[in-house]
């Protein structure tokens, strides 16, 4: 491990890569602060820039920096405006905004920054311990197990989608897998589902799809519902003062940070759970174990209530890198976009990443420490100035968001047809959002589709048919787990509904 850390340090601590960390964190914070633009959209917009850099290490360092910056920026808008830019920072606004209302905005931002830093750093240490161990186990997997593992991952993402949402999430996953089959397949060079159109020969571009699924609907929602973007209407950002915290406050939040770093990390590792669940769960757990007056304080500006979700969401972000880096299976929409970016840079994440390109693997982990450090020492003093971005009027902001969305998609392919595909998918995605269909499973399905099919085909060829399911117990076990993951929440929902109907009848 020590050797790896040294490799990572040498790769990450070059002047160019350090600039990338700083640039990523600043850009992420700036854009993440804008209400409505989440880390997924920001990373998708940044991908052409990252690919333009060419060096996978520098590109991934930049994108990770953007990711952390966006989460940090999201908490800033949660605290200052009660307008979370990201779902993962909604819980931050529960206590962060009341603190800002009491005139403690500076203190709230400092606590959020310290909690994020601690969560991210402890998460990175845990990642360093668990990822290599999991990689060693993953090396024993064959294509049959990989296929089954991806099926488990996709099912888990659907299963964690929420009550009554499992079937919808599964539908979106299958739609994503279907979109992934468009174009020339890996099995043969036969074009599939292109309907004779040359532009579809190489399939849909994942950047276009990512933009269409996240950035475009969000921008359209901002247009349709101005209440969604509180930007331009508040002058709170000018009043950030008193950023110091006292020693007793630090002592109060220390145990919260410790607990939530661990809990958040492990929730982040689970596919589909991610930063949002980690932050809500972290908040709920801390509120339940707090005693008397402290518990009363939650929701009214408790520093514990602010530190808990902030630590947990950052630790979960780091945790979500575990399945990506060790198995090559993204557990969240954001890591799915990162996977797409890595594939575009000719790096295949998975158990062999550590042996084939150790500098990429370790540089990413080291850059996480650096990123957290940059956020703490660079962004914290700059926050009062960066927060001025919240005063940009939406009449300027929205055309620029739309323009960056178009550019992100255009630069990936250098083709105007891509822009029309983007608008088409964007409209479909907006309609899907209206009906509350989750869109992350679609993108994860799309990105995993090719890998899933390749591993499936390899297993089929090796065993001359579907026998691989019966002959490999682990494959069968994993597929059974996938079925349980999908069926169990639906069955429990069905039982609960029946029971509720029974009560209603009795009345």
Candidates 72, 146, 410, 425: give the one binding other proteins (CB under 8 A): 410
Q: What is the DSSP letter of 223?
A: H
> How many CA atoms lie within 13 Å of 169's alpha carbon, on the beta-carbon side?
26
Under rule CB under 8 A, residue 164 binds other proteins: yes
Sort residue 350 into left (φ over 0), alpha (ψ -120 to 50) or beta. Answer: left
Any idea what the Cα angle at residue 84 is, between residues 82 and 88, rounded to 5°?
135
Sort residue 232 into left (φ over 0), alpha (ψ -120 to 50) or beta. Answer: left
If the CB atoms of residues 350 and 426 are measured against other proteins, the closer one turns out to be: 426
Q: Which stretch binds other proteins (CB under 8 A): 6-14, 361-369, 377-385, 428-436?
A: 428-436
Under rule CB under 8 A, residue 434 binds other proteins: yes
CA distance 370 to 22: 9
Helices of type H across 82-165: 90-101, 105-138, 143-159
Candidates 60, 110, 456, 469: give the one binding other proteins (CB under 8 A): 456
Candidates 5, 133, 137, 431: give the one binding other proteins (CB under 8 A): 431
Pair 71, 31: CB distance under 8 Å = no
If the CB atoms of residues 295 and 454 are measured against other proteins, the closer one turns out to be: 454
If the CB atoms of residues 13 and 457 are measured against other proteins, the closer one turns out to be: 457
* Residues contacting other proteins: total by CB under 8 A: 67
Query: SS3 for 191?
Result: strand
Candidates 246, 248, 288, 414: give the one binding other proteins (CB under 8 A): 414
In the complex, what is the shortest distance from the CB of residue 489 to other proteins, in angstroms, rounded to a whole number?
Answer: 13
Under rule CB under 8 A, residue 403 binds other proteins: yes
**Per-residue x/- track, 206-245, other proteins (CB under 8 A):** --------------xx-xxxxxx-----------------
Under rule CB under 8 A, residue 395 binds other proteins: yes
HEC string of 199-251 equals: HHCCCCCHHHHHHHHHHHHHHHHHHHCHHHCCCCCCCHHHHCCCCCCCHHHHH
Any idea what the Cα angle at residue 30 is, between residues 76 and 411, rounded to 5°?
140
Q: Which stretch binds other proteins (CB under 8 A): 276-284, 331-339, 364-372, 417-425?
A: 417-425
Which residues share a beta bridge with 191? 184
By residue count, the chain amounts to 507
In the complex, what is the shortest distance from the CB of residue 500 to other proteins, in angstroms, rounded to a whole number?
Answer: 9
CA distance 168 to 157: 11
In the complex, what is the shortest distance from the CB of residue 147 to other proteins, in angstroms, rounded to a whole number?
Answer: 11
Sort residue 242 into left (φ over 0), alpha (ψ -120 to 50) or beta. Answer: left
Candidates 406, 469, 478, 485: give the one binding other proteins (CB under 8 A): 406
Under rule CB under 8 A, residue 398 binds other proteins: yes
Candidates 1, 2, 52, 504: give the one binding other proteins (CB under 8 A): 52
Candidates 300, 399, 499, 501: give the one binding other proteins (CB under 8 A): 399
Under rule CB under 8 A, residue 163 binds other proteins: yes
Under rule CB under 8 A, residue 170 binds other proteins: yes
Backbone angles phi, psi at 299, to 5 degrees: 95, -10
Candidates 464, 473, 502, 506: give the one binding other proteins (CB under 8 A): 464
CA distance 32 to 13: 25
SS3 content of the chain, % helix, strand, coil (to 5): 80, 0, 20
Q: Which residues bind other proteins (CB under 8 A)?
A: 48-49, 52, 83, 90, 162-164, 167-168, 170-171, 174-175, 177-178, 181, 185, 187-188, 190, 192-193, 220-221, 223-228, 393-396, 398-400, 402-403, 406-407, 410-411, 414, 416-417, 419-420, 422-423, 426-427, 431-437, 453, 456-457, 460-461, 464-465
């Amino acid at each position: 491990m020590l050797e790896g850390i040294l490799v990572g340090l040498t790769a990450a601590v070059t002047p160019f890569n350090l600039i990338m960390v700083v640039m990523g964190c600043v850009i992420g914070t700036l854009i993440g602060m804008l209400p409505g633009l989440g880390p997924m959209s920001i990373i998708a917009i940044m991908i052409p820039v990252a690919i333009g850099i060419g060096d996978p290490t520098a590109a991934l360092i930049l994108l990770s920096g953007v990711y952390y910056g966006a989460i940090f920026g999201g908490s800033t808008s949660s605290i200052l405006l009660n307008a979370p830019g990201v779902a993962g920072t909604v819980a931050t606004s529960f206590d962060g905004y009341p603190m800002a209302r009491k005139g403690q905005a500076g203190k709230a931002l400092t606590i959020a920054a310290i909690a994020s830093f601690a969560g991210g750093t402890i998460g990175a240490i845990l990642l360093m311990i668990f990822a290599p161990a999991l990689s060693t186990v993953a090396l024993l997997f064959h294509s049959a197990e990989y296929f089954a593992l991806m099926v488990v991952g996709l099912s888990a993402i659907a299963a964690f989608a929420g009550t009554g949402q499992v079937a919808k999430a599964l539908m979106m996953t299958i739609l994503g897998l279907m979109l992934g089959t468009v174009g020339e397949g890996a099995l043969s060079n036969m074009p599939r589902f292109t309907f004779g159109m040359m532009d579809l020969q190489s399939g849909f571009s994942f950047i276009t799809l990512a933009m269409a699924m996240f950035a475009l609907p969000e921008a359209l929602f901002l247009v349709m519902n101005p209440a969604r973007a509180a930007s331009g209407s508040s002058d709170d950002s000018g009043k950030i003062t008193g950023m110091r915290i006292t020693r007793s406050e630090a002592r109060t939040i220390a145990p919260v940070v410790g607990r939530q770093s661990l809990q958040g990390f492990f929730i982040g590792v689970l596919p589909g759970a991610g930063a949002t669940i980690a932050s809500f769960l972290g908040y709920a757990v801390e509120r339940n174990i707090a005693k008397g007056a402290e518990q009363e304080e939650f929701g009214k500006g408790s520093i514990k209530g602010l530190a808990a979700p902030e630590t947990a969401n950052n630790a979960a972000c780091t945790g979500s890198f575990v399945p990506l880096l060790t198995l090559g299976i993204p557990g969240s929409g954001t890591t799915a976009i990162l996977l797409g970016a890595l594939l575009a840079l000719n790096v295949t994440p998975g158990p062999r990443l550590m042996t084939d390109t150790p500098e990429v693997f370790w540089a990413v982990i080291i850059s996480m420490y650096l990123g957290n450090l940059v956020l703490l020492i660079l962004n914290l003093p700059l926050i009062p100035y960066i927060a001025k971005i919240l005063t940009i009027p939406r009449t300027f902001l929205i055309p620029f968001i739309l323009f960056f969305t178009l550019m992100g998609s255009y630069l990936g392919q250098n083709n105007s047809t891509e822009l029309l595909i983007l608008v088409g998918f964007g409209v479909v995605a907006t309609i899907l959002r209206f009906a509350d269909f989750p869109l992350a499973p679609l993108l994860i399905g799309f990105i995993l589709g090719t890998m899933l099919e390749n591993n499936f085909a390899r297993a089929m060829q090796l065993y001359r048919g579907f026998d691989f399911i019966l002959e490999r117990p682990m494959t069968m076990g994993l597929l059974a787990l996938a079925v349980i993951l999908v069926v169990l929440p639906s069955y429990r929902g069905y039982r609960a509904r029946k029971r509720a109907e029974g009560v209603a009848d009795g009345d």
